[in-house]
Amino acid sequence: MTASTPGPVPTLSLLGTTALLFEAPGAMELHSQQRIWALAQEAAGWPEVREAVPGMNNLMLSFVRPPRTLDALKARLEAAWEAVTPLTREGRVVELPVIYGGAGGPHMADVVAHTGLSVENIVELHSAPLYPVYALGSHPGYCYLGGMDPRIATPRRKVPVLSIPGGAVSIGGAQTGVSASAGPSGWNTIGTTTMAFFDPARNPPATLQPGDRIRFLVEGIEA
Amino acid sequence: MIEILSNVALATVQDLGRLGSLRFGVGTAGAMDDLALAAGNLLLGNEAGAAGIEIPVFPFKLRFTADCAFALTGADCGARLDATPLLPWWSHQARAGQVLTLGLPQGAQRASRALLCLPGGVDVPEVLGSRSTQLRGAFGGHEGRALRKGDVLRAAEAQRACRTGFGLVPPAFALPQEIGGLVALRVLPGAEYLGFEAASRDAFWAGEWRITAQSDRYGYRLAGEALQPVAPMELRSHGIVPGVIQVPHSGQPIIQMRDAQPSGGYPKFGTVIEADLWRLGQAPIGSRIRFIETHWDEAVAALEQKEAWLAKVARMVALRRSAPMGAAA
């Protein structure tokens, strides 16, 4: 795997005429994500921005309608990034019991093969951290988590799986997360848990917010 | 009111999409052919973004349980109201008890999805700012799911008298875009475009791409000459939008469609521009498509051309609707 290490300056790229993607420079870490949260809060109020959507050390701005030229928006974004004060959030801690491996973790063998570690080692490394929620994405209520041990990083699958169930605990590249409902995924599923992450009738509809933290409790390991 | 008589899955209630909840992980959903939905709504005097029914599998049957105007746009499916053939891209009047049947898509410009619009739109609750069906998470639309036999849906303005009996030249004819008889789509190169071999980049623009059977409202998986990265790329998860062309390790691209998730991590070769997504939404499984490289100014202008076409439709409909009764065709 070639880890993408963004260059020394932020990069900006287009997602058609629908959105602009800002990627922070440097290593993926919480301090940088706190700047992303702050940048999102600020950019959400700009007139051409429909929504500011934090990712993993990056920020997507969707347009109300695409500006005729992008120079002014790009300059404003870069200046705001330099000036921004990191937004620290100490959210609540949520503990999730996980059954690792077995039928609920069909790709554990791929993580073993890629990392060269035993199942027990992988479980130990995966369940050790208190993972901060960096951002929501993928599907309703899904949380992207920071802080996974790089020793269990495993590339996304060559061909995405057409459907994995809700509650699937998985690894994609250097990241980990829990699926909130059944659907397609390119990640490696190593375990399963239960949790209601989303209710469209609530405001906000997602259970967890950026800044909340998740701990995985080992409920069992299956062969 | 209408009652669904067919047992086919995948027909869904859609509007122009749920645009403001990406940060909660909620994709946009919305009509695969937004232009057909907007035009169908305008034909009935609705807001362009009212909810309609997207029908991708045929034959499809429904019964009108009360008198009701309707408009059919999108794929020409040889529609019949009882035994009477109906023109596509046209507004019609049904009487209580009549059965609407949509057959296989036909015609020179074979499309793949029909849109049915009703006066005031399909009456389903708005969820997070939209009436589109969000299949993943099961909310929005009709009970958060595809329609099935026995479902009964209401038009929001069922009693409103609509002038019907007129129609449109479909946008596939009014705004054609083809290369060698194949539907062509304009693409803005993406962040990782230069991370692919020059030969792969050339092949992408020069080649034909087949839409494989593993294609649906989530995404179109394409088959063609595999796109080779200069070096493997493993990205941080980031926001994506419908139209983004991702290239997983297999080298066979996947175009994100309306039910796409709002974030991803595969390298982005480019994005089919918003203005051309309706063309792709109508491209049938098994058909081949081509790509045209574009730039920002042209992509923005293309959106304006699409809006201009809809504005023309709105003016034409206003003239028809204000003409004295009996003067309409």
pLDDT at B220 over 90: yes
SS3 B325: coil
* Tokens coding A33: 């994500």
Which residue among B19, B21, B25 sits closest to A142, beta carbon to beta carbon? B25
Helix (H) or strand (E) run with residue A77 in it = helix A71-83
- Whole-number Å distance between alpha carbons of B266 and B238: 10
* Tokens coding B217: 């409202």
Domain B178-294, architecture per CATH: Beta Barrel (2.40)
Across B66-87, average pLDDT: 97
pLDDT band at B328 (very low <50, low <70, confident <90, very high): very low
**pLDDT value for B325:** 60
- Contact state of B239 with A186 under an 8 Å Cβ cutoff: no
pTM over cut 0.90? yes
Cβ B133 vs Cβ B12: under 8 Å: yes
Q: What is the DSSP string of A150-188?
A: GGG-BPPPSS-EEEE-TTEEEEEBTEEEE-SSSEEE-SE
- Report A:60-99 residues touching B (Cβ under 8 A): 60, 62, 65-66, 68, 70
Chain B residues closer than 8 Å to A66 by CB: 299-300, 303
Chain A residues closer than 8 Å to B265 by CB: 156, 172-173, 175, 186
Tell me the residue type at A51: E
Chain B interface includes A49 (CB < 8 A): no
The fraction of chain A above a pLDDT of 90, given in percent, is 82
Residue of A nearest to B272 (CA): A16
Residue of A nearest to B127 (CA): A200
Mean pLDDT of chain A: 93
**pLDDT value for A69:** 94
Chain A residues closer than 8 Å to B254 by CB: 160
- Contact state of B237 with A175 under an 8 Å Cβ cutoff: yes
Q: What is the DSSP string of B287-301?
A: -EEEEEE--HHHHHH
SS3 B34: helix
Name B42's Cβ contacts closer than 8 Å, sequence gap at least 6. B48, B310, B313, B314, B317
Chain B interface includes A118 (CB < 8 A): no
Chain B interface includes A54 (CB < 8 A): yes
- Report B:245-274 residues touching A (Cβ under 8 A): 248-250, 254, 261-266, 268, 271-274
- How many whole angstroms from its chain centre is CA B10? 13
pLDDT band at B9 (very low <50, low <70, confident <90, very high): confident
pLDDT at B326 over 90: no
- Contact state of A23 with B236 under an 8 Å Cβ cutoff: yes
In tens, the pLDDT along A174-212 reads 899 999 998 888 899 999 998 889 999 999 999 999 999
- Contact state of B137 with A200 under an 8 Å Cβ cutoff: yes
Chain B residues closer than 8 Å to A144 by CB: 237, 263
**Alpha-carbon distance A173 to nearest alpha carbon in chain B (angstroms):** 6
Radius of gyration from C-alpha coordinates of chain A: 18
Across A45-60, average pLDDT: 97
pLDDT at B163 over 80: yes
In tens, the pLDDT along B262-289 reads 999 899 999 999 999 999 999 999 999 9
**pLDDT value for A6:** 59
Which residue among A2, A17, A51 sits closest to B299, beta carbon to beta carbon? A17
Give the best residue of B16, B18, B26 to mutate against chain A (max A CB count within 10 A): B26
CATH 2.40.100.10 maps onto chain B at 178-294
**pLDDT value for A7:** 67
Task: Number of A to B CB contacts under 8 A, please give it.
Answer: 196
Which residue among B24, B234, B271 sits closest to A173, beta carbon to beta carbon? B234
- Report B:278-297 residues touching A (Cβ under 8 A): 296
Q: Strand B182-189 vs strand B288-293: parallel, antiparallel, or unpaired? A: parallel
- Contact state of A2 with B231 under an 8 Å Cβ cutoff: yes
Residue of A nearest to B235 (CA): A4
**pLDDT value for B108:** 72
Residue of B nearest to A50 (CA): B20
**Alpha-carbon distance B153 to nearest alpha carbon in chain A (angstroms):** 22
Residue of A nearest to B307 (CA): A65
Q: Strand A93-101 vs strand A213-222: parallel, antiparallel, or unpaired? A: parallel
Q: Which of B46, B37, B3 is nearest to B17 (CA)?
A: B37
**Higher model confidence: residue A166 or residue A151?**
A151
In tens, the pLDDT along B32-68 reads 999 999 999 999 999 999 999 999 988 999 999 999 9
